[in-house]
With several copies, the nearest count.
Chain A
């Protein structure tokens, strides 16, 4: 069961991890982009935490609010993408008790929205290469999904995305030179998945 509390914890834990790794994210973005991803995501998630709907018992409400915060605080490429992801996912989830299989469907809609907004496919070396495979695992495992399932796939994807050639965002200007360097957005997605896994472990 995915609850509003867990949704809130997810956001708080994501914020902590992103802020704690701000410099890493910024350095990654500096190598392949413009060096603001750590700043952008920290600013956005801080705002999301501040604006968290603490009263609702509906996880969908929580995630929708997070999406709006990100959309209006992050800017850049990651703002509309993560904003769309959380808003669309939140929109899909109904009521206060959400099965993990339902969460998976919500996140699927989220990531599809993200792909559409970014005109991006898999394997283009973006955050999508972290999020989508993990969501696939959730879809496959349904209600039996475990934190370890998520992390196993996230770890594998993180290694893989490093070797891709960037096709979207500023990293694409580096063409083949982008191979062997980690994508900043993939790395921030990794932390967001890690936060989700930890919350599931703790509460589940």
Chain B
């Protein structure tokens, strides 16, 4: 795979600098770190820090800004950031009201953020951590690693971010983030792989006439390899897999994200949405909000994911609050 980069060792720092140079009013980069922090802090609110490996852009730095994150910590490509970096992020955004860490459920992310939380607490900062695990392609079992965190993370950012912006306490913000996590499920599909810069070959193979159902955002395998099929059929499979655990029924409100994996034309995402919307509509489910676009990507992976968030009235309320970030900009 051909890449418009300079050197694999520099992709993350040059990307972060490129982001700050494009949006100097939104961000600054903490010197010597891979942490982007919000420029215009609202005072005295709970800080929200997220992050993870790079390669998922616009996640996570694209969600830094009013009404969402206060800082994003970027690791190397597909590699969790280190605890000292996360700690810098925590320290930069704490205003005395404490800090919520939003982590996706990968061993590395969980451990590195956990260690950072311990270090921050040693310095007297109140820290809580929530772990997003929305990917229904992976079985949830206490004996294994459990479900992965994928696109649903964006809804956690949005709603926890809105709650923090409203001035809610750390416990309250954490509780609503947990509520999102309980109510959000996703599944992805890939038609072609991604390649980590500097590695010699793509992360996985997909046969000429195949697609991978239940793929993870780092190319982790999913439920099954299936024959290439129509967009409508893909939409149907995704809905079939995602809905059951949410127990949504006639009259429920949901938010939907039809997410591109990085290299998927918008045309295809809208064609998927055309069917996804109708499937929900036919079940009497009300789509309060539908996001279609590249929200949580995997470099140049080609494919899409569906995320459905079941809304309570409180979640709905927070979902509709304004936010001002590069990747999600919502007016009053």
Contacts and interface: CB of A to CB of B under 8 A. Distances in A.
The answer on direct contact between A and B (beta carbons under 8 Å) is: yes
Contact of A81 (B79, B84, B106, B111): B111
Contact of B220 (A23, A80, A173): A173
B77 interface: yes
Given A39-B76, A80-B83, A173 B138 contact: yes
A173 B108 contact: no
B112 interface: yes
A79 B145 contact: no
Nearest to B218: A34
A75 interface: yes
Given A80-B108, A167-B144, A71 B78 contact: no
Contact of B196 (A35, A71, A75): A35
B314 to A, nearest CB: 32
Contact of A30 (B77, B108, B203): B203
B3 interface: no
A168 B110 CA distance: 13
A202 B77 CA distance: 38
Contacts of A80: 83, 108, 111-112, 115
Interface string A75-117: 1111111000000000000000000000000000000000001
Contacts of B106: 77, 170
A173 B204 CA distance: 14
Interface of B: 53, 75-85, 106-108, 111-112, 115, 138, 143-145, 148, 196, 198-201, 203-204, 216, 218-222
Interface of A: 23, 26, 30, 33-36, 39-40, 43, 71-81, 117-118, 167-170, 172-174, 177
6 contacts: A26-B199, A30-B203, A34-B218, A39-B198, A39-B199, A117-B115
CB-based closest 10 A-B pairs? A76-B108, A80-B111, A77-B108, A34-B218, A77-B107, A76-B79, A172-B145, A75-B75, A75-B79, A72-B84
